[in-house]
Amino acid sequence: MRPHRSTSTWRREPPRETGNEGKVPRKWSEDEAAQWLASDLAAEMLDFPRRIAASIVSIDGNVSRILDIASGPGSFLKVFLEMFPESVGIWHDASDTMRSVAEKELELYASRISWVQGDMYNFAGSALPPGIDVILTSRATHHFTPQELADFYAGIAPLLRSGGWIINLDHAYLGLSWDSIFRSARRDLFPKKRTNDSTGHKHEKAAPEIADHIAALRNAGITEVQTAWQAYYTFLIVARKP
């Protein structure tokens, strides 16, 4: 579910840029991926927006092929495979640990899933097919700079059929004061989910803002964009290709 490529801590404004944008961060180790799974603070909370996304797409009706990028344990893909029983899914992630967990979580849907291990920073080596109805990604693109985010959306847009959906459930940077307040408030609401202060999930820069996502999608030709849900600094964007 991650891009598996970050190293240090969240940065606050000013500035948003860290001076490290030209470097290629290391991938997560498998131990870090396992630690993140064990200490996931938001897993339960995010089931609701996942189902919101599936319900919105269901109004469209025509879903046969789903791609979940940085799928991790497959939680988002699972909701869509359940909602659309005639569909097939493509699980895409870089981590062996995540795949092992996903294979167990998605066991009921195994005959409908293709497994692709690849890097969300480089789709060229993944041989992903065109004509996708829904492209999902969840809690991964907050590792990107705004330019990397724009490159990501530009890279996945050609995989989508006309009328298809890009859906992103992720974290956004809200600005210096709100970001700190919302993070503290969420920790107070979900105290039992955090086992310690280290999740193995570190960041080298502030996440893109919601406005960065909307601009990047529109620049990629995905002009129908809407924020369908937000809680604290976590948001759900749904976007439909013309």
Q: Please give the pLDDT value at position 121.
A: 86
Cβ atoms of 240 and 222 within 8 Å: the answer is: yes
Give, in order, the Cα–Cα distances in Å from 202 to each of 2, 45, 111, 124, 146.
11, 21, 35, 26, 18
Q: Domain segments of the chain: what residues? A: 30-240
CB atoms closer than 10 angstroms to residue 6: 20
What local confidence, expressed as pLDDT, does residue 32 receive?
A: 52
Region 30-240: CATH code: 3.40.50.150
Closest CA to 115 of 136, 92, 85: 92
pLDDT value for 203: 60
Residues 6+ away with beta carbon under 8 Å from 57: 63, 80, 83, 134, 165, 167, 238
Token look-up 């944008």 returns 21
**pLDDT of res. 187:** 82
Amino acid identity, position 148? E
Amino acid at 152: F
Q: Single out the residue of 21, 27, 76, 19 nearest to residue 200, CA to CA.
A: 27
Look at residue 134 and give its three-state secondary structure. Answer: strand
Residue 198's pLDDT is what?
A: 46
The closest alpha carbon to 169, from 88, 56, 62, 83, belongs to 56
- Let me know: does 110 contact 103? Beta carbons within 8 Å: yes
pLDDT of residue 61: 80
pLDDT along the chain (242 residues), means of 10: 36 34 44 49 81 96 94 96 97 92 96 94 82 96 94 96 97 90 85 50 78 97 97 96 96
Q: What count of other Cβ atoms lies within 10 Å of the Cβ of residue 83? A: 17
Q: Which uninterrupted H or E stretch holds 90?
A: strand 88-93
H/E element, 202: none
N-term to C-term CA, the chain: 27
Cβ contacts of residue 77 below 8 Å, gap of 6+? 66, 68, 71, 89, 91, 102, 106, 113, 136
